[in-house]
């Protein structure tokens, strides 16, 4: 009992010790959003995501939706909603209600398109380890589409811990997309290509087509890039074959479904005619 009590007291002490530090780190990183330079704001966004704090996700969501403001004369970041007489504001970090203020007292935190793409990917990384599989799946798909440069390790870590088969497949796709786009070595990119070419997915085909165009547009063609471009073309051909096969299967299934309906209608007409000696036209109409 003494050991359990000591362990509890130690855990409580750690919580009390590190919680203010975590908040201080988050608040310090958030101050970077007040900078005028988009480069400084981008660095601040990356620092916020690196904290792993759930409040960072809320802050980035508000920033992405255009609801994040700075209260004039302070370093307080608030979420502002329209209200009678001005804006109803809430401190984004403490969730404290700060009442209604005039619109002229707030300054909107603005971002550019590059930051929007980055934020979408980082928001995905913050939910990769969420308890809800649906949110993890959504995060994996968001990372696949945005492919942030520094997401390979978080996705790989999430994949190692994942138990849901559907989410695993989505994480494998996202990791391969990030490695193909930002892989440091030809081996990493080639391995990512092997994963992607096995997926009969129109989105994967779009990604590979974009990478093929990017490689073809380069002025200096190295042997590695030429080999990768050839691999991408082969992967695209493989995906086209799979999509064509699936299209044939889909057409056959639809044909069988329609044929079965027509067959049932014909059997019904034959039975009606055989018993009554007349054709029930309403049967065909049905």
Cα(107)–Cα(110) distance, integer angstroms = 9
pLDDT in tens, 98-109: 888 887 888 888
DSSP per residue over 225-256, as a string? HHHHHHHHHHHHHHHHHHHHHHHHHHHHHHHH
Q: Of 153-167, 238-252, 264-278, which has the strongest mean pLDDT? A: 153-167
pLDDT in tens, 125-171: 777 877 788 888 888 888 888 887 777 888 888 888 889 999 999 99
Enumerate long-range contacts of 148-156, CB under 8 Å, 24 or more apart.
148/117, 148/118, 148/121, 148/122, 148/178, 149/178, 149/181, 149/182, 150/46, 151/121, 151/124, 151/125, 151/178, 152/178, 152/179, 152/182, 154/125, 154/128, 155/125, 155/128
16 pLDDT band (50/70/90 cuts)? very low
**Hey, which bits of 7-146 come out as E strands?**
68-71, 77-83, 86-91, 97-101, 106-108
> CA torsion 133→134→139→140, rounded to 10°?
70
25 class by beta-carbon count within 10 Å (0-12 exposed, 13-18 middle, 19+ buried): middle
Residue 19 has pLDDT above 50, yes or no: no
- For 11, the token pair is 């855990």
216 pLDDT band (50/70/90 cuts)? confident
pTM: 0.56
**CA dist 230 to 85, 139, 190, 196, 227, Å?**
62, 31, 11, 15, 5
Residue 284 has pLDDT above 60, yes or no: no
What angle do helix axes 186-196 and 202-216 make, rounded to 10 degrees?
A: 150
Buried b (16+ CB within 10 A) or exposed e, 36-72: eeeeebbebbbbbbebebebbbbbbbbbbeebbbbbe
């Amino acid at each position: 009992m003494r050991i359990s009590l000591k362990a509890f007291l130690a855990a409580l002490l750690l919580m009390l010790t590190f919680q203010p530090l975590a908040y201080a780190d988050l608040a310090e990183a958030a101050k970077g959003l007040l900078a005028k330079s988009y480069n400084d704001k981008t660095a601040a966004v990356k620092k916020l995501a690196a904290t792993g704090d759930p409040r960072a996700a809320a802050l980035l969501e508000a920033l992405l939706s255009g609801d994040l403001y700075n209260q004039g004369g302070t370093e307080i970041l608030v979420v502002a909603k329209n209200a009678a007489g001005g804006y109803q504001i809430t401190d984004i970090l403490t969730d404290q209600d700060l009442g209604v203020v005039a619109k002229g007292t707030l300054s909107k935190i603005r971002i550019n398109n590059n930051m929007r793409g980055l934020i979408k990917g980082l928001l995905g990384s913050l939910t990769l380890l969420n308890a809800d599989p649906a949110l993890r799946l959504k995060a994996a798909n968001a990372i696949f589409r945005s492919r942030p440069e520094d997401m390979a390790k978080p996705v790989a870590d999430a994949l190692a811990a994942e138990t849901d088969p559907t989410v695993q497949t989505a994480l494998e796709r996202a990791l391969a997309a990030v490695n193909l786009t930002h892989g440091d070595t030809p081996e990493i990119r080639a391995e990512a290509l092997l994963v992607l070419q096995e997926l009969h997915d129109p989105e994967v085909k779009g990604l590979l087509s974009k990478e093929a165009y990017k490689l073809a547009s380069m002025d200096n063609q190295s042997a590695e890039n030429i080999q990768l471009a050839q691999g991408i073309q082969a992967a695209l051909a493989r995906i086209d074959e799979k999509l064509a096969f699936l299209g044939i299967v889909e057409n056959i299934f639809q044909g069988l479904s329609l044929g079965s309906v027509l067959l049932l209608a014909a059997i019904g007409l034959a039975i009606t005619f055989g018993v009554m000696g007349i054709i029930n036209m309403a049967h065909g109409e049905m």
